[in-house]
Amino acid sequence: MRIAFFSTKKYDRDSFSSLVKDYGFQIDFLEAKLDHQSAILAQGHDVVCAFVNDQIDSKTLEILSKEGVKLIALRCAGYNQVDLEKAKELGIRIVRVPAYSPEAVAEHTFALILTLSRKTHKAYNRVRESNFSLEGLTGFNIFQKTVGVIGTGAIGRAFCKIALGFGCKVLAFDVMENAEMKKIGVQYCSLDELFARSQIISLHCPLTPDTHHIINKKAMEKMKDGTMLINTSRGALIDTKAVISALKHGKVGFLGIDVYEQEEDLFFQNLSEQILKDDQISRLMTFPNVLITGHQAFLTKEALHQIAFTTLENIAAFASDSELVNEVKA
């Protein structure tokens, strides 16, 4: 079984190479991002392994199908980058990693909250320059704040537990309410009520047509002035243009994002010697109350190991014609 592995980084090589010998597969690691231009590199391979910002649209799928690819193994949870209807039409099956380390993303989410609330990133830079002044570093307690959680899947639930551990009151919105969360003190409510009551709002829902720009101008108008908004889920959950306006007018008091709706041309690469052509993220980086990380919330040793293991198990199940428990269908 030959696997064309797109969007390869060093940590991918390390985590997959340590396990693949147990499966007998051949992985060809490719640095190129998967799209209709690079899809031809899958020639001679049975399986394609893709990541979150690979473009698996209709044109890409047609090329992969012509090259004989029958399985696309996503090494991520999200699958909004895949044209599932076209994949079904071409007979290409799609598998994913639905849960690798919910705690990794949840902990990073809280790291963003704590950094913004206590300004430790600014303090770090000051002390490096022998500036020990505390002026401008006044923060606020997380204890007893009302935290709104949109989406209580595996990551959302892990985040709720951390927030409760900090002594927060936790509100949640999800189309499927979770009995375990209710039992430990999470209060489910409508989305409008969550917007109106929360001082911190964290997004943990998938990107679907229904959740696209779930945080838009109207949603932010319902929030308290100075609300902290955190997104470690999918970039397009937030209308970037609208949140820039809300930051300028003080409706959003703090913004922490690990994802960005136009990130596919930015994240996972070193652009330090280039001029950014994306005016919106350039504008976001000028705000002193905005913290951006480059889609690293998943990046822990434990998560990488689980991603590699589940991905290889998915491929092994396909190779043996077994049930694909992590298959995504149109």
- Would you state the pLDDT for residue 111? 98
Whole-number Å distance between alpha carbons of 240 and 281: 8
Q: Is the pLDDT of residue 114 over 90?
A: yes
Starting at the earlier edge strand, list the strands of the sheet with 327-328: 26-29, 2-5, 47-50, 71-74, 93-95, 327-328
Confirm if 92 and 60 have CB atoms less than 8 A apart. Answer: no
| Residue 249 bears catalytic tag | no
| Residue 295 bears catalytic tag | yes
Q: Is the pLDDT of residue 330 over 90?
A: no
Q: Exposed, middle or buried: residue 143 (CB in 10 Å: 0-12, 13-18, 19+)?
A: exposed
Catalytic residue of the set 263, 302, 313, 323 = 263
Catalytic residue of the set 93, 234, 261, 313 = 234
Same fold: 2-100+300-328 with 102-292 = yes
CA torsion angle 130 136 142 147 (round to 10):
-120
Residue 72 confidence class, pLDDT cut points 50, 70, 90: very high
| Residue 263 bears catalytic tag | yes
Token pair for residue 14?
A: 């390390």
Q: Is the pLDDT of residue 100 over 90?
A: no
pLDDT digits (tens, 9 = 90+) for 143-191: 999 999 999 999 999 999 999 999 999 999 999 999 999 999 999 999 9
Q: Would the pTM of this model clear 0.75, i.e. be above it? A: yes
- Which of the four CATH numbers 3.40.50.720, 3.40.640.10, 3.90.550.10, 3.40.50.2300 does domain 102-292 have? 3.40.50.720
Q: Which of 39, 46, 43, 44 is nearest to 6 (CA)?
A: 39
Starting at the earlier edge strand, list the strands of the sheet with 146-150: 187-188, 169-173, 146-150, 200-203, 227-231, 252-257, 290-292
Give the class (CATH, top level) of 2-100+300-328: alpha beta
Domain ranges for the chain, please list them: 2-100+300-328, 102-292
Handedness of CA 328, 9, 292, 34 (dihedral sign): negative
Catalytic residue of the set 295, 313, 323, 327 = 295
